[in-house]
A and B are shown apart, each in its own frame.
Chain A
Amino acid sequence: MNNKLLKSTLGTLAIAAAMTVGSSAVFAGADLDKKLVINGETEIVTRTAAPAHLDGALDEIFSGWIFRKDETQTAQMDDFDNPGMIFVDIAQDAWNKVDGSEGKSCASCHGAAEESMAGVKATYPKWNEAAGEVRSIDMEVNNCRTTRMGADAWKLTGGKMTAMNALITLQSRGMPVNVAIDGPAQSMWERGKEMYYTKTGQLEMSCANCHEDNYDLHIRADHLSQGQTNGFPVYRLKNAKLNGVHARFKGCVRDTRAQTYKPGSEDFLALELYVASRGNGLSVEGPSIRN
């Protein structure tokens, strides 16, 4: 499946960045039953029962895809029309390219990404026993680069890292998100949960105020989703590039008029783990297209 996905290439339709019809009186009411099938073969779970830890908070969870406009939804059904796939191709070149003092590429150890990276994204962030910490995929990539390849670490929010994350994510597309929240990862998960429900900024808003209490409603011209991260990295029509989850968190926190945490920080890592766990059961969907 994945081989084919990589070969079939993609396209961009900036025109699809259609203006939101903006009247505050419009109630959103997304079609919650709409089905997402990519390339006519990969079925994506965009609606399912909420994981047990959300008991009392949410009954059902929805991919952000559900809440987007028809044009944006359609563009994601064919990888040639998905501009996020450009960056997957670029990352594929980087995967095979030798870099650093050890004369190695990603492929030297990991072989074909289609095989070695299958299922990886679905379980991240996760506890790394050897390192004694919770790690994101981006942290693992940089660990490989610095310790095994003898290469420079990539900037966590940079284009190269986000593209590599997309390549790795693609290999798990269609698999259910399944991050562990117990065991050694539990304290980070609790920390993320606390952040999720803590009001921040001059507007005194928590993540939950929008994404749990008011999803599927409009916040001015914006159609609120549940803030799920199963579609990350996302190609955003507003900035025409792939966006990582920490960069997106930063935008959200900034919008509450708070000082944001730093992308790549332990704070955002805790939040990444917690938010990912809220999507346990949805399919890994990235790279996806959002507004």
Chain B
Amino acid sequence: MTDRSRDVARGGEPAEVRDGSAGLSRRAFLKGAGGVAAAGSVFRAEVEAGRAQAEADAGLEGTVTVEFVLNGTPERVKVEPRTTLLSALRHHLARPATGTKEVCDQGNCGACTVLVDDEPVYACMTLAVKAAGKRVRTVEGLTGTDGLSAVQAEMWAADGMQCGYCTPGFVMSLTACLEKNPEAGPEELRAACSGNLCRCGTYTQVFEAGLAVARAGRKSR
């Protein structure tokens, strides 16, 4: 068994994840990188911090079995404890659920938003083990008329997508917001989407879709 860092903090502390994945700890880097002055000097960038972490986490070796209910269906997945819910969904399920997207992998963009027991969470910032015994809902699991939920249908009508890569995240954020308050107003909807980024610039249509669902919610009361 070789030395490996066990990044159990992944999902909880993005800064550490980033330091680790650069193959160089931030401390080691800053020490060695004294600007242009450092030019010419040779130094070894070893993952000391990562190694220490791996030793500390020796108890976490191997895999654990996580059971949760995904879109109404019981799922059981064997993952290492460090595995994020996003990775479990996208890579480790027997039938990967790839509707949920990975964009920033550090909680900045909301593309991986899923509902865990009806609460919207960033799946990239949530360990898979945290979902054990819970209900996980993703964009694949929303249902309604013709296979589309009200949010999905209004997103379609308003053209709330372009490239579509952020779209699952927006659908889930709007869904969570409108399930809590079926009559949500424009500011509430905008705030609900403030953790989601779209590069194509479809925000206006997303808000429109949310408002259309809310209007229907008011009418049906």
Q: Are A and B subunits of one complex?
A: no
Give the B-binding residues of A (Cβ under 8 A). Answer: none
Give the A-binding residues of B (Cβ under 8 A). Answer: none
